[in-house]
Chains A and B, each alone.
Chain A
Amino acid sequence: MNHLNPLHIGLLLIVILLFLSSKLIESKTEFLEAKNSYNETQKVAITLSALKKVYADKQRLKKSLYRILQLSSLRSADILKTTKKSEIILSSKSMEKKALNSLMGKILNANFNIKILKIKKLSDKKASLYMEIKW
């Protein structure tokens, strides 16, 4: 005699189906969480990498600043350059207005992290400058 009850098989299949369905729901939730986490990490990674490149790439910033200071309009300006571990200080007790405009134009158009800036007009053609740039 066939001792295997078909209803038992049916019930077993339903139990397996329910178990697999719950596992599938669980795995779909895990997948969505992993996907969201990946998207978030990617967003953070791209933005952070871009911002670090702009504000924390010491070598690139140094090179860029030195290139500005080497411009013919600034070479003759009396700009004192003090380099520290995490910053550079540009100062001049008296510099030409034209050179100051040129310097500020270049600095403001680039992505330097300006911490302190002090510009004081001395006369119609002269001004003093103190600027701290962080990296």
Chain B
Amino acid sequence: MKFNKKLKTIFLDTHSKEFKIVGRVNIVLSPTLYWVKKLSLPVKYARDAKKLLPSIFEDTIPEGNYSYYIYKSGEYFIAFAYEDKKIFDILAQKGIKNSQIANIYFAQTELNHMENIFKIDKEQIIGVKDDIVLLLPSALFTQSKKLDMSNIKHSKHRVNLTQFGHIIDKKSLYKITAILIAFIVLITIELVMTYQKTDTIIINKEELFSKYKLKSTMFQNKSMLKKYKTIHIKQMRIRENISAILSLHLIKESKLTQLILKNKVLIATFSGVKQGEEIRITRALQKRKIVFKSSFKKNIFKVEMQL
């Protein structure tokens, strides 16, 4: 069940005294706070007529940042031009906070059915002439009642004030908002896709562990890899060195008599090696880039290769 609380309505004018407001209020703007025109235009709808308003008001109102409002009343259009900032400034001057405002209306839309003239303050009265709500000096009508806003029935014509309309126009604001939202959407899509790709990679990594029967930690696997790489390098060196030894062209008297591999050392012993022959063997091994130590004693030439 919805409860409609009746809100207080106040008449806001540049000459109004400061208000002391409790809760929220409706505001009716004095004709001093807007410009109004009764127009006959060659368009059918108010939305079409609204586009024409800047040029219609251009020559008749002072320069400023205006917002516009228009509605159709019979055969005519009632058009408004108002400065958001000016109204906000007046509201602030009169002690009305934005949070205290329920709705804002033009006096034109709320009071145009008045049959009498009403007093606003000591100096001003309000009345209607040719369907336009006007403020007049009180000296013209001394016998007028005070304007009572307590029983006013509000129209649907609310004023939407834009607080920073004088800094940035609505169109630009919408464009910027649209761009920001577009970026947010794009980044969100990219973010979701990145999360999905990361999840896929993590799943694939887990599959690698089961496919290759890896140990549970990479530390263990790397340690095993290091061990097998060391074995592989050593075995390759053993084969390279043995191949180099076996491919030596020895002279008839020289013979390979012993080949021993133990503790990362490969020792080849040649016997019957004549003086000078050991140099030829040394050069042949150096040519194959074999790293070794050698000794030559009593026709026995020993080559010691570190693996």
Chain A contact residues, CB within 8 Å of chain B: 1-3, 5-7, 9-10, 13-14, 16-17, 20-21, 23-24, 27-28, 30-31, 34-35, 37-38, 40-42, 44-49, 51-52, 54-56, 104, 108, 111-114, 116-121
Q: Indicate whether A34 sits within 8 Å of B201 (C-beta atoms), given known contacts A51-B225, A116-B261, A117-B261.
A: yes
User: 7 A-B Cβ contacts within 8 A?
Assistant: A2-B161, A2-B162, A20-B184, A47-B225, A55-B235, A117-B261, A118-B261
- Cβ < 8 Å to A, chain B residues 210-250: 211-214, 218, 221-222, 224-225, 228-229, 231-232, 235, 238-239, 242-243
Question: Is B190 interfacial (CB-CB < 8 Å)?
Answer: yes
- Are the C-beta atoms of B208 and A56 separated by less than 8 Å? no
**Chain A interface, DSSP helix/strand/loop, else mixed:** helix
Picked from B160, B164, B256, B259, the residue with its CB within 8 Å of the CB of A1 is: B160
Q: Which residues on A sit within 8 Å (CB–CB) of B221? A: 41, 44-45, 48
Q: Which residues on B sit within 8 Å (CB–CB) of A42? A: 208
Q: Indicate whether A38 sits within 8 Å of B205 (C-beta atoms), given known contacts A31-B194, A119-B259.
A: yes
Question: Is B98 interfacial (CB-CB < 8 Å)?
Answer: yes
- Are the C-beta atoms of A24 and B176 separated by less than 8 Å? no
Chain B contact residues, CB within 8 Å of chain A: 27, 98-99, 101-104, 158-164, 173, 176-177, 180-181, 183-184, 187-188, 190-191, 194-195, 197-198, 201-202, 204-205, 208-209, 211-214, 218, 221-222, 224-225, 228-229, 231-232, 235, 238-239, 242-243, 255-262, 266
Q: Indicate whether A111 sits within 8 Å of B235 (C-beta atoms), given known contacts A1-B102, A17-B184, A44-B222.
A: yes
- Are the C-beta atoms of A48 and B228 separated by less than 8 Å? yes
Q: How far is the CA of A108 from the CA of B236 in the complex (A)?
A: 9
Q: How far is the CA of A6 from the CA of B103 in the complex (A)?
A: 18
The residue among B27, B160, B177, B235 with the most chain A CB atoms within 10 A of its own CB is B235
Q: Which residues on B sit within 8 Å (CB–CB) of A9? A: 177
Q: Indicate whether A24 sits within 8 Å of B194 (C-beta atoms), given known contacts A34-B205, A119-B258.
A: yes
Q: Which residues on B sit within 8 Å (CB–CB) of A37? A: 205
Q: Which residues on A sit within 8 Å (CB–CB) of B211? A: 45
Q: Distance (Å) between the CB of B89 and the closest chain A CB? A: 15
